[in-house]
Amino acid sequence: MTPQMPPLDAVNAALQRIAARDGDVRAWIALDPAGARAQALVTSSAAPLAGLVLGVKDVIDVAGMPTTHNSPLGNPAPAIADAPCVAVLRAAGAIVLGKTDTTEFAAAGRNAATANPHAFHRTPGGSSSGSAAAVADGHVPIALATQTGGSTIRPASFCGIPALKPTWGVISREGAKQYANSLDTIGLYATSFPLLERMAAVYDMAPPSDLPTAPRIGLCRTPYWDRAAPETHAAMQDAAARLRAAGAVVVEVDLPPLFDRLERAFMAILFREGAAAFLSLARTEPHLLHDDFHTRIASRATYSDAEWAEAQDITDLARIEAERLLSGLDAFLTPSAPGIAPVGRGPGNPIFNQMWTQLHLPVVNLPLYRAQEDMPLGLSLVGRRHSDRSLIALGAALADVLGLHRPLA
């Protein structure tokens, strides 16, 4: 399933792969073969994403398909129009094949049924479970995700694929379920960095800067380093050694004490903005709303208005400081997840993702492969705001140096 494949052949190849594999992987909630084939027949070969088959996380509207949110409160009626993030890709020639499974409302509650394609007893990560697994297992070459804490980058780490969590606000979130307004971000998955770059380009992200001959990389273990598994410690050490051997300048980055306060601040913002997002469902359909969401509604007792306001101020100050720390670097290198994908269907721990989401910084997952565990494990490149495409280019340049993992054949 290559970008050069004729569009109709690409759709049929995707459907064949899904038929062969999705009984175990369970990445998809709904497929639209007829709609995809009809679009393939009218796709211009000159379009920038011509013939690329697309999966869409089922918290994002696709015209003619329900948006279920993996919830009994999902809308059974077909969406009237594509969400803008979908419309932009479709206008560029991408062919929408269907909706992928997700944690309920991309937030909490019910887990996706999706399995990790590398080991069916392990999670693909959440909440963008189906999108990550569909790309990793070769069903489609590109997919849409979302991230409020770590829901794009962590599944990419667990499934072994390139991913971009863009600068906050650079892709419209209209037509996607809101969870936390100041955190929610549309994410991108692809089987390769060149495809990730093509997707970023059609969203009119700033063009990449020239690649440095000797990249300056800040090794950033974050305040949560003691929560990383041994395989993540080893991956960071190995990556630093490989980068130095290849001529990169690798420096240790110690985040100032202000950053120690970001975890509590993140939770205050997440829960209080989440309470606003789900209040209407708690008032109108309380018996159908999962207890996790009622907990968010009740979060005023845990996070007061004063703490919520302080959390926003702390975050604003940390954004300024993060830009200063990145000013002399091409990127931070930091974990994408505590370790390899855990057993089960839980979404995984977002502790190594949520700070960067909170700071509105772009993040690219570098999918490594840890042979001793026979599972993928990601590291993240984090850049200054609006350096998204430069970050993708840097990731592509580091691929051979770091021995990046390739999706399943």
Which active-site residues does the annotation give?
57, 127, 151
Name the residue among 316, 389, 324 with its Cα closest to residue 359. Answer: 316
End-to-end CA distance of the chain: 10
How far, in Å, CA of 149 to CA of 353, rounded?
6
User: What are the angstrom distances between the C-alpha of 62 and each of 85, 211, 329?
Assistant: 10, 37, 39
Name the residue among 121, 77, 96 with its Cα closest to residue 39. Answer: 96
- Residue with token string 């996070």: 303
How far, in Å, CA of 352 to CA of 339, rounded?
10
How far, in Å, CA of 275 to CA of 265, rounded?
15
